[in-house]
């Protein structure tokens, strides 16, 4: 297990954190889990609003860096500027159970979250482990306040379940963060001399945390490795020089990583010893700072631990069986078997992931694990079966993993080994319009409003750049339909996404009275096309073989996206002859389409030889 703590001082993430995480080294191959605690992440109002809509930049960075090494985000918790992320190798996910998070504010008497602690607790192969990331009060004279705040965090954080309700009830606790303990008595000149002379041991006995571990009952049992690296605070940002400002703060080991093993229970096994399955040992393999990172006035600290115990869980809650390779859509059959005692839910689903996925909801597609005889299969220990639809399968070649996501535990309960999918790519791009026709024959502008995504309690893939637009409302008189691209790559197996659609799709045209000669656009017309307040709005519909115009007062006219103010929520597309009016429009002299969107082809409506996409 690798543990990292870093007070980032509201800075932007650096470009590379591989050395901090000890990646690209032999150690990485043996690491099974990584816990990352951050403090002072930018939490100003505008930044918090953005992070509420999007994943924060620090979390994105660590997911991007760790996913190629098969680390998956297991859980994360944030309290203002304090963030904790826990990653694990994908094949360990089915053995991580009972994942819970908690946070405690201690700033401003418990009303503000700039100080406090956040935690992630989970069962790892049957052993209860808790990761606690804290940011305690600053300044030399606040040692007692740090003690009180830590005691408050231990008291306030409580978890659900029959075992390990409190932090110290866990079999193993990792406590880390910007604990803000300082060096007492010694003046700044001696401290800097000891650092420059590399006689750090002369500073250890004056370190407040070392003193507290032997005197504070609340810290009894916590262990820490030797501080063989220079104090990690306070540096001039962008350098490796200690504070040169007017305050000239004394260097200190504020950023620490400790651990505690739960004391043996009173119930002992045969011969006065604990049963072998309860034995747990921890040894620290590495404890160091990373001076190469200069974006903050703190240096990050990392530790690697070897945790040894007998596994109490040797089988996943859900075993998934799949063919070694999918060459045809009909091979996309998934068989799975649920263990006795598994809490099945009708909202469970099986996700298809690319190798190197970032978190449990970073799926390519999924299918509901709603087998009609699911309960009978669970009771009689039979195999249930589901199948991915052809439209949900990725095209091309690649390695993929299947994972069973349990809605009850909000975690993956079973995974497969990587397998190959080799399906022919779609031929959508090969179908083009007839190049022999003129532009007047082919330009038929249609405004297609995209139907909103499925609102079922599906995982809702966490995209890096999610739309900030409001959800699309239902407007009277408009027929909503997904675009051809969205239909081809539907992420949801729900039937409504595959429902046949009406062919009566509204087509928006300019009024003929406003148009000049076909193929020629006046300056005033170009300005009107680009103006968000178009003066008139008409819609042409096919009705009993003829054409009718809809006045600007009708519901269809009022649904003009420029009038609704919802243009960011719409996608404007050119589709090929949705109403089959190619010849009829050309005969009646309808003007070619105007460019209505930045995504429309630039040549649309400006060249007689232009072709609609």
With a CB cutoff of 8 Å and minimum separation 6, the contacts of 281 are 261, 307, 308, 309
Separation between Cα atoms, residue 296 and residue 228, nearest integer Å: 21
Residue 274 counted as domain residue: no
C-alpha angle 253/257/258, rounded to 5°? 115
Residue 494 has pLDDT above 70, yes or no: no
State how beta strands 396-406 and 538-543 pair.
unpaired
Q: Are residues 179 and 326 in the same domain?
A: no
Interaxial angle between packed helices 208-215 and 143-156, expressed in degrees from 0 to 180 and rounded to the nearest 10 = 60
Task: Measure the CA angle with vertex 8, ends 5 and 10; round to 5°.
Answer: 150
Q: Are 286 and 337 within one domain?
A: no
Q: Check if the beta carbon of residue 39 is closer than 8 Å to that of residue 210.
A: no
Residue 234 in any domain: the answer is yes
Residue 532, domain member (yes or no)? no
Range 182-197 average pLDDT: 96
Q: Is the C-alpha dihedral spanning 176, 179, 181, 182 positive or negative?
A: positive
pLDDT at 541 (0 to 100): 41
> Do 108 and 155 share a domain, yes or no?
yes
**pLDDT at site 46:** 73
14 and 109 fall within a common domain? yes
Q: pLDDT tens across 241-274, in order?
A: 999 999 889 999 999 999 999 987 644 333 333 4
| Cα gap 278→269, rounded to integer Å | 10
3 state SS of 9: coil
- Residue 30: band (very low, low, confident or very high) from pLDDT cuts 50, 70, 90: confident
CATH number at residue 344: 2.60.40.2840
Do the beta carbons of residue 337 and residue 318 sit within 8 Å?
yes
**pLDDT confidence of residue 374:** 65
| Full-model pTM | 0.70
Task: Examine the pLDDT at 51 and tell me if it is beyond 90.
Answer: no
> Would the pLDDT of 526 be above 60?
no
Same domain, 257 and 389: no
500 in a domain, yes or no? no
Contact 128, 163 (CB under 8 A): yes
Q: Which of 322, 326, 324 is nearest to 423 (CA)?
A: 326
Q: What is the DSSP letter of 242?
A: B
Statement: residue 393 has pLDDT above 60? yes
* Side-chain half-sphere exposure of 80, counting CA atoms within 13 A: 19
pLDDT-derived band at 48 (thresholds 50, 70, 90) equals low
Distances (CA, A) of 48 to 51, 81, 94, 136: 5, 9, 33, 21
Predicted pLDDT at 265:
60
pLDDT at 313 (0 to 100): 87
329 and 187 within one domain: no
Strand partners, 82: 79
What was the pLDDT predicted at 463? 38
Rounded mean pLDDT, 46-75: 88
Domain of 91, in residue numbers: 2-264+279-309
Q: Which residue has the higher pLDDT, 73 or 581?
A: 73
546 lies in some domain = no
Q: Are residues 149 and 190 in the same domain?
A: yes
Do 104 and 117 contact (CB within 8 A), yes or no?
yes
Q: Is 305 in the same domain as 323?
A: no
Residue 239 lies in a domain: yes
List the CATH number of the domain containing 159. 3.60.10.10
Q: What is the DSSP letter of 368?
A: E
Mean pLDDT value of segment 175-180: 98
Cβ count near 172 (within 10 Å): 21
Residue of 598 and 252 predicted with greater confidence: 252
My answer on whether 211 and 326 are in the same domain is no
Q: Which residues, at least 6 apart from 26, have a Cβ–Cβ distance to it below 8 Å? A: none
Instruction: Count how many residues are written for the chain.
Output: 613
Q: What is the pLDDT of residues 452-471, one digit of tens each?
A: 333 334 444 433 333 333 33
| 296 shares its domain with 327 | no
Q: Say whether both 408 and 285 belong to one domain.
A: no
Same domain, 202 and 290: yes
pLDDT at 163: 92
> Two tokens at 170?
């866990």
Please spell the DSSP secondary structure of 183-238, one letter per residue. Answer: B-S--HHHHHHHHHTT-THHHHTTBHHHHHHHH-GGGTT-B-----S---B-B-TT
Phi and psi at residue 216, to the nearest 5°: -90, 125
The CA-atom distances, in angstroms, between 130 and each of 74, 100, 120, 406 are 13, 9, 6, 21
Task: Give kind and range of the element (H or E) at residue 76.
Answer: strand 71-79
Q: Are 282 and 3 in contact (CB under 8 A)?
A: no
- H/E stretch holding 318 reads strand 318-321
Estimate to the nearest angstrom the gap between the alpha carbon of 533 and the chain centroid: 39
- Number of domains the chain contains: 2
As a whole number, mean pLDDT of residues 81-100 equals 97
What whole-number distance in Å separates Cα of residue 56 and Cα of residue 103? 18
DSSP-assigned letter for residue 375:
H
H helices present in 288-386, as ranges: 374-380
Residue 346 lies in a domain: yes
Domain assignment present for residue 599? The answer is: no
Q: How confident is the model at residue 112 (pLDDT cuts 50, 70, 90)?
A: confident
pLDDT of 383 over the 50 cut: yes
Mean pLDDT of all residues in the chain?
77
Strand partners, 242: 235
pLDDT reported for residue 107: 87
């Amino acid at each position: 297990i690798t543990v990292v703590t870093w007070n980032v001082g509201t800075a932007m993430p650096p470009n590379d954190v591989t050395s901090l995480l000890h990646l690209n080294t032999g150690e990485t191959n043996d690491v099974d889990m990584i816990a990352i605690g951050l403090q002072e992440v930018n939490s100003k109002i505008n930044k918090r609003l953005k992070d509420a809509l999007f994943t924060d930049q620090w979390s994105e960075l660590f997911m991007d860096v760790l996913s190629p090494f098969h680390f998956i985000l297991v859980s994360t918790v944030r309290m203002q500027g304090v963030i904790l992320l826990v990653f694990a190798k994908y094949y360990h996910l089915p053995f991580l159970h009972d994942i819970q998070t908690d946070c405690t504010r201690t700033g401003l008497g418990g009303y503000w979250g700039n100080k406090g602690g956040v935690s992630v607790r989970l069962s790892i192969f049957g052993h209860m482990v808790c990761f606690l990331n804290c940011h305690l009060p600053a300044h030399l004279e606040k040692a007692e306040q740090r003690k009180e705040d830590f005691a408050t965090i231990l008291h306030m954080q409580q978890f659900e379940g029959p075992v390990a309700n409190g932090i110290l009830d866990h079999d193993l606790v990792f406590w880390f963060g910007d604990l803000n303990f300082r060096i007492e008595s010694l003046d700044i000149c001696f401290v800097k001399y000891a650092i420059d002379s590399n006689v750090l041991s002369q500073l250890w006995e004056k370190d407040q945390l070392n003193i507290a571990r032997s005197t504070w009952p609340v810290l009894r049992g916590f262990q820490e490795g030797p501080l063989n690296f220079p104090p990690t605070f306070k540096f001039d940002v962008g350098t490796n020089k200690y504070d040169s400002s007017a305050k000239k703060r004394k260097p200190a080991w504020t950023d620490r990583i400790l651990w505690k093993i739960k004391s043996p229970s009173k119930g002992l096994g045969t011969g006065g010893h604990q049963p072998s399955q309860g034995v747990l040992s921890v040894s620290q393999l590495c404890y160091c700072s990373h001076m190469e990172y200069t974006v903050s006035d703190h240096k990050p600290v990392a530790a690697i631990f070897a945790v040894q115990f007998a596994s109490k869980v040797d089988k996943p809650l859900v075993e998934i069986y799949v063919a070694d390779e999918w060459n045809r859509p009909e091979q996309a059959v998934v068989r799975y078997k649920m263990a006795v005692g598994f809490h099945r839910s009708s909202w469970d689903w099986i996700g298809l992931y690319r190798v190197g996925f970032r978190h449990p909801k970073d799926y390519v597609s999924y299918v509901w694990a709603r087998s009609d005889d699911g309960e009978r299969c669970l009771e009689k220990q039979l195999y249930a079966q589901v199948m991915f639809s052809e439209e949900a399968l990725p095209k091309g070649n690649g390695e993929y993993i299947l994972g069973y996501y349990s809605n009850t535990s909000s975690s993956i309960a079973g995974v497969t080994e990587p397998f190959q999918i080799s399906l022919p790519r779609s031929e959508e791009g090969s179908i083009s319009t007839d190049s022999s026709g003129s532009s007047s024959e082919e330009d038929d502008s249609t405004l297609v409003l995209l139907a909103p995504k499925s609102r079922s309690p599906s995982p809702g893939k966490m995209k890096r750049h999610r739309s900030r637009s409001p959800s699309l409302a239902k407007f009277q008189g408009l027929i909503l339909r997904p675009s051809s691209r969205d239909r081809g790559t539907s992420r949801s197996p729900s039937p409504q996404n595959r429902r046949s659609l009406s062919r009566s799709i509204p087509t928006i045209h300019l009024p003929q009275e406003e148009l000049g000669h076909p193929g020629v656009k006046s300056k005033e017309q170009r300005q009107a096309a680009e103006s968000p307040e178009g003066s008139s709005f008409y819609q042409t519909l096919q009705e009993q073989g003829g054409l009718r115009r809809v006045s600007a007062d009708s519901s269809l006219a009022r649904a003009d996206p420029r009038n609704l103010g919802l243009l960011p929520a719409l996608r404007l597309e050119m589709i090929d002859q949705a109403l089959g009016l190619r010849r009829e429009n050309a005969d009646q002299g309808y003007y070619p389409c105007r460019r209505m969107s930045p995504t429309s082809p630039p040549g649309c409506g400006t060249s007689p030889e232009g072709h609609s996409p």
